[in-house]
Amino acid sequence: MNICVVGTGYVGLVVGACLAETGNQIIGADVDVAKIDGLKRNVLPIYEPGLEDLVERNQSAGRLSFTTDVSAAIRASDVVFIAVGTPPDEDGSADLRHVLAVAETIGQSMAREMVVITKSTVPVGTAAKVSDCVRKHARHPFHVVSNPEFLKEGAAVDDFMKPDRVVLGAETDHARSVMAELYAPFVRTGKPIVFMDIASAEMTKYAANAMLATRISFMNEIANLCERVGANVDHVRKGIGSDDRIGPAFLFPGPGYGGSCFPKDVKALAKTARDQAAPLRVLEAVEQVNDAQKHRLTEKLKQALGSELSGATVAVWGLAFKPNTDDMREAPALTLIDELLAAGARVAAHDPVAMEEAERRLGATVRFATSSYDALVGADALVVVTDWNEYRHPDFTRIKATLRRPIVIDGRNLYSLERMAELGFTYHSMGRRAVP
């Protein structure tokens, strides 16, 4: 198929590269000249494992191209994905200006019958607004489809190529036929394509992310209670996760969720619910819990160092909101670093991938270490924020010898309580007893 993907950010780039890999002709269109110039040279604006090879291979094969001429790309296509950003407004609602601007351009530019797919995360009712914008200018038939993405940052290519399911809100036979053909190569193992009405597809995306965010906040609440009553959250997690009705995923306690999806989507769904006079009280609490959880690392650090952080030097391992990405949007590390700097502490930070993004955000306020161990030099304590693989089995003897004081705050429960006690560390983790 001839396909245009408008928006070459995180979602659009993954969608375009993966569809090109199955033989489609893909044009990635974006108004950002610098981004498109970079993509033409196989320089990606994001870090995502496997994506760079996919882009380079399909550009070389002639199946994938990039342009700033959005109208021309639409005219050359039978299918258009709208994959532009939907940043949150101040009230938490999704900003649809970019989505609707693309819809208007589609109506003005389409040269034949077309399937228009909303891939951006949008609230219920957006597809109807997209349809209205296209219809104002369209001279050919068109079909609007809602196709929410369920891509995990750090595993997005695998998620697209081998999806758990494909959700499609489509209400005409033509749209269902085109979308079934498009996704057939990705569901050969029997994973379902779930067709539904458009409003239900739009709601499914938000409901899925809200459920996962709820599990995280619930487990963080349980972890905080475990510390008070002397229980070990690791044991509790395994005990409840072995129940088939619950399952083990998204039950690991930590310093709160971040990234581009959960914070934004929880806010947007909660705003939609308030607007409909059907407030989601559970979801409001999920957001409150997550905001509070991001302060827990500073609280634990004060407990270990003493209440006065002024003059202390703190090593921070992990800046991205999760491993295998350089995304620092809503990252717990940002909250921690802001609080440390406000208290008069110095920060030395390391991340395997997100250093460039961190320097852009934090500038000279932080010392960026060349290695994880370099960050420890002169530090009074180490705080582990992101569970990158290289932090899971470090050289504890070297850590203890390099730190000025043997204090470790583990925001991801990577290390054994017994091992840290044997080694003589002061060790604080999430939902487990402190090792003095």
Q: Sheet harboring 407-410: ordered strands across?
A: 367-368, 346-350, 313-317, 381-384, 407-410, 426-428
The answer to whether the beta carbons of residues 431 and 413 sit under 8 Å apart is yes
Catalytic site includes residue 261: yes
The answer to whether the beta carbons of residues 386 and 322 sit under 8 Å apart is yes
Q: What is the rounded CA–CA span in Å between residue 271 and residue 257? A: 19
C-alpha dist (Å) from residue 376 to 254, 400, 417, 436: 22, 9, 21, 20
Other CB atoms within 10 A of residue 16 CB: 31
Q: What is the DSSP string of 142-164?
A: EEEEE----PPTTSHHHHHHS-S
Q: Is the dihedral of CA 360, 335, 265, 411 positive or negative?
A: positive
C-alpha dist (Å) from residue 75 to 26, 80, 176, 401: 13, 10, 22, 64
Q: At what angle do helices 51-60 and 10-21 cross, to 10 degrees?
A: 50
What is the helix (H) or strand (E) element at residue 347, kind and residue range? strand 346-350
**Residue 1 burial (10 A CB sphere; 0-12, 13-18, 19+):** middle
The answer to whether the beta carbons of residues 147 and 167 sit under 8 Å apart is yes
Residues 18, 133, 226, 261: which is the catalytic one?
261
Other CB atoms within 10 A of residue 341 CB: 16
Say how many residues make up the chain. Answer: 436
Tokens of 378: 């002169």
Q: What is the rounded CA–CA span in Å between residue 238 and residue 220? A: 14
Active site residues: 261
